[in-house]
Amino acid sequence: MSERRETIIGRFEQIARQYPSNLAIKMADSSLTYQELNNAADRIAQTILEKRGAGQEPIALLFGHGIAGITALLGVGKAGKFFFALDNGAPVERNRYLLGDTQSHLLLTDDANLRLAQELSQGQIPILSVDGLGNEIHSREPLRPATPDELFAINYSSGSTGLPKAVMQTHSCRRYDTELHVDMAKIVPADRLGLMHPAGFVGAEVQLFRALYSGAALLPFDLRSNGVQALLQWLRREMITVLHLTPAVFRELGALITDREMLPRLRLVNLSGAPISQQDVDLFKDGFSPLTQLVVHMGSTEAGVICSAVLDGTLAFPKRGAPVGYSLPGKAIAVLDEDHNEVAPGAVGEIAVRSRYLTLGYWHDPDLTREKFLPHPAGGELRTYLTGDLGRQLPDGMLLHLGRKDLMVKVRGNRVELGEIESALRAHEQIKDVAVSAWDEKEGDKILAAYIVAKNQSAPTVSELRAFLAAKLPDFMIPARFTYLPSLPLKQGKLDRHALPLPDHQRPELTAPYIRPQSEAEEKLSEIWQEVLGVDPIGIADDFFDLGGNSLSATRVISRVMKHFQCDVPLRLLFESPTIEAMVLVILEHQARRIDDRQLQQILDELESMSEKEARRQLS
């Protein structure tokens, strides 16, 4: 690893000069070379400086999944500012909290998100749409590059106090972490990297910067809107060589692969964000090319990537724990006891990382920073970050992950603090008390379960609770199961989470009444939904998402529907028609069109085989 003090933005500018005509970003309808991307980022940076002047300050980003958000992110860095990203799919209340917490004085967006930006700012924060900047640089304000120790980004994640917490990321940390990823993955200009998350979010920064650091092509894909079935087709069409996924999405993708040579150009699959299993490795060996490499790693927003390992089939999975890799250069792994002393080899303790490349800590929260970031006894730049994860190390140095020490869990690759969900539910006027837990579900996923104690007998329905939470929390934080209890189990006056019952598989109390399936198609759809959601019975008027459905389970349903009904239906069908009775109508329409097309083709084939004279006679 090098010790260069250049920032990640400086490195990008160097690559743009070195490979000006290389493809930098490609979407379905547009693309930019490195020179075009650099120029576009310069225009945004000059406009920011013209409006705000020089100096470090937070700039809010509100974009969808594509080129505009990436360009804006680079423009903020070129102006010497730091960014934080708003999720255009998150509740307005949550985004307004983030804007107030950072005290941003400028909100960057594009025309597609302009109306939402205006709703969020309420006239209090200036808005700049990057779509209206044109192609010329009108300002002569000189760019002032940030220094390595200045802030690069604020990354928000779920917080245990009920409010999101913000991690302060410096240029030097992001640069060093990017170098680690590039060195491990051996990224070269000929690579084509898939980007599964919008720019500005932690999950996107790994792929984003290791591409722009190396002169490789970056290809964003909107997984949330298009689904895994379309992802497989896209990977083949765009000849993606490097892919970064959560284990949950990897399992869905692997289940669709029927030939080991379906993705011949894919040379590297990275997995992170949740524990893996032996079944994941077996799925990889059975479905992917022998030339493709599978790599697992562990990291956090606060410490970046801290360990990594190539899963080549020689690793014997332990009975307890998931392998997450070996220490990386500059990131020393330690397993500590409650007094922050290292435990004996092989013993269980809290995973910690000692490094000079840790984030500064938490925005406006010095107490939490002191609690989680410990100074090195010898002083200097080395600090220790306490991850809150439990683990132990094998004799060869392999780190095993054994779960969370606190109430943070990973759901579909997202970090979730159970306390934030509980806090949101307690705000409901009909709820007296609440607890939220995470349970292992089939296929290796975790589901969130909420336990509700109502104030009176008229408890809110699951439909009402989901709608209430949807206005406050992202969809991955909304529980899949709701259980009503007369009281929460206590132990010495405190909640006994271990005594919470397993969520059952009964149909929950919904706003819509139960209506049993009538037709053969409705019966089959109900059977598919029950199989995927683990809920029984399911009525034809029940909302898929009120039953605990999410984007991943929607993909599973659509895959089974396409196989059984022999028709191509898009993933959005389940979002637009989330009941069985509505879904059946759309499926029957698709089948009718398919039959008509087949009959037409049969007629054309028959006509083609006839002589010209006979064809004319038939047509007449």
pLDDT one-digit tens code per residue, 278-295: 888 888 998 999 999 999
Residue 446 backbone dihedrals phi, psi, to 5 degrees: -105, 145
Q: Which has the closest alpha carbon to 425: 474, 463, 476, 478?
A: 478
Q: Is a pLDDT exceeding 70 seen at residue 139?
A: no
Give the pLDDT confidence score for residue 541 in this predicted structure.
94
Give the pLDDT confidence score for residue 27 in this predicted structure.
93
The Cα 480–Cα 503 span in angstroms is: 10
Q: Which has the closest alpha carbon to 27: 64, 52, 75?
A: 64
Sorting pLDDT into bands at 50, 70 and 90, what band is 405?
Answer: confident
Contact 120, 61 (CB under 8 A): no
Q: In the predicted model, what is the mean pLDDT of residues 452-481? A: 90
- pLDDT for 328-357, tens place per residue? 999 999 999 999 999 998 999 999 999 999
Residue linked to tokens 């030939």: 259
- Give buried/exposed letters for 470-508 (b at 16+ CB in 10 A, else e): eebbbbbbbbbbbbeeeebeeeeeebeeeebeebeeebb
Q: What are 107's strand-pairing partners?
A: 60, 127
| Joined tokens for residue 490 | 């206590």
- The DSSP line for 123-173 is TSS-EEEGGGS-SS----PPP-PPPTTSEEEEEEE--TTSS-EEEEEEHHH
Q: CATH for 408-499?
A: 3.30.300.30
Contact 236, 256 (CB under 8 A): no
Give the pLDDT confidence score for residue 580 in this predicted structure.
94
Contact 95, 120 (CB under 8 A): yes
Q: Which has the closest alpha carbon to 399: 346, 477, 443, 452?
A: 346
Give the pLDDT confidence score for residue 443 in this predicted structure.
57
Residue linked to tokens 């423009």: 75
Q: In the predicted model, what is the mean pLDDT of residues 6-15? A: 91
From 10-24, 367-381, 434-448, 545-559, the region with the lowest mean pLDDT = 434-448
Give the pLDDT confidence score for residue 594 in this predicted structure.
67
17 burial level (CB within 10 Å; 0-12, 13-18, 19+): exposed
**E runs forming strands in 428-491:** 431-440, 446-454, 481-484, 490-491
From 70-84, 130-144, 502-516, 550-564, the region with the lowest mean pLDDT = 130-144
Give the pLDDT confidence score for residue 141 in this predicted structure.
58
The structural domains of the chain, with segments of one domain joined by +, span 7-220, 322-405, 408-499, 520-605
Contacts with 83 (C-beta within 8 Å, 6 or more apart), sequence order: 58, 59, 60, 61, 72, 73, 76, 77, 152, 153, 154, 200
Q: Where are the alpha helices (DSSP H) in 135-277?
A: 171-185, 202-212, 223-237, 247-256
- pLDDT for 591-605, tens place per residue? 777 655 555 555 455
The Cα 34–Cα 38 span in angstroms is: 6
The CATH number fitting domain 7-220, selected from 3.30.420.40, 3.40.630.30, 3.40.50.620, 3.40.50.12780: 3.40.50.12780
What pTM value is reported for the model?
A: 0.82
- Output 423 or 41, whichever has higher pLDDT: 41
Q: Is a pLDDT exceeding 70 seen at residue 18?
A: yes
- Neighbouring CB atoms inside 10 A of 308's CB total 22
Topology at the third CATH level for domain 322-405? Luciferase; domain 3 (2.30.38)
- Neighbouring CB atoms inside 10 A of 204's CB total 22
Residue 129 backbone dihedrals phi, psi, to 5 degrees: -90, 120
How would you classify the pairing of strands 446-454 and 431-440? antiparallel
The Cα 461–Cα 283 span in angstroms is: 39
Q: Please name the amino acid found at residue 611.
A: S
The Cα 5–Cα 176 span in angstroms is: 9
Q: Per the omega criterion (within 30 degrees of 0), is the bond before 189 cis?
A: no
Q: What's the Cα-to-Cα distance from 501 to each of 353, 410, 420, 437, 494, rounded to whole Å? A: 35, 20, 21, 10, 16
Q: What percent of the chain has pLDDT over 70?
A: 91
Contact 547, 533 (CB under 8 A): yes
Give the pLDDT confidence score for residue 615 in this predicted structure.
46
Q: What percent of the chain has pLDDT over 90?
A: 57
Q: Is a pLDDT exceeding 60 seen at residue 16?
A: yes
Q: Which has the closest alpha carbon to 9: 220, 178, 130, 203?
A: 178
Give the pLDDT confidence score for residue 504 in this predicted structure.
82
- pLDDT for 210-268, tens place per residue? 999 999 999 999 988 888 889 999 999 999 999 999 888 898 899 889 888 899 999 99
Give the pLDDT confidence score for residue 452 in this predicted structure.
94
Q: What's the Cα-to-Cα distance from 60 to each of 54, 113, 148, 225, 612, rounded to whole Å? A: 16, 13, 21, 23, 68
Q: Is a pLDDT exceeding 80 seen at residue 389?
A: yes
Q: Is a pLDDT exceeding 50 seen at residue 619?
A: no
- pLDDT for 508-558, tens place per residue? 888 889 999 999 999 999 999 999 998 999 999 999 999 988 888 898 899
| Joined tokens for residue 577 | 């028609």
Q: Please name the amino acid found at residue 154.
A: I
Give the pLDDT confidence score for residue 2 in this predicted structure.
40
From 45-54, 110-119, 301-310, 597-606, the region with the lowest mean pLDDT = 597-606
- Average pLDDT along the chain: 87
Sorting pLDDT into bands at 50, 70 and 90, what band is 459?
Answer: confident
Topology at the third CATH level for domain 520-605? 1.10.1200
- Neighbouring CB atoms inside 10 A of 600's CB total 10
Report the SS3 class of residue 181: helix
Give the pLDDT confidence score for residue 259 in this predicted structure.
87
Q: Is a pLDDT exceeding 50 seen at residue 88?
A: yes
- The DSSP line for 350-393 is EEEEEES----EETT-HHHHHHHEEEPTT-SS-EEEEEEEEEEE
Q: What are 151's strand-pairing partners?
A: 170
How would you classify the pairing of strands 332-336 and 349-355? antiparallel
Report the SS3 class of residue 193: strand
Contacts with 11 (C-beta within 8 Å, 6 or more apart), sequence order: 175, 178, 212, 213
DSSP 316: P
Residue linked to tokens 């802030």: 151
Residue linked to tokens 């690759």: 413
Q: Is a pLDDT exceeding 60 seen at residue 607?
A: no
Residue 113 backbone dihedrals phi, psi, to 5 degrees: -115, 10
- Output 317 or 471, whichever has higher pLDDT: 471
Residue 58 backbone dihedrals phi, psi, to 5 degrees: -80, 140
Q: Which helix (H) or strand (E) holds 506?
A: none
Sign of the C-alpha dihedral, residues 68, 70, 73, 78?
Answer: negative
Q: Is a pLDDT exceeding 70 seen at residue 618?
A: no
| Joined tokens for residue 320 | 């307890």
Give the pLDDT confidence score for residue 4 in this predicted structure.
40
Q: Is a pLDDT exceeding 50 seen at residue 610?
A: no
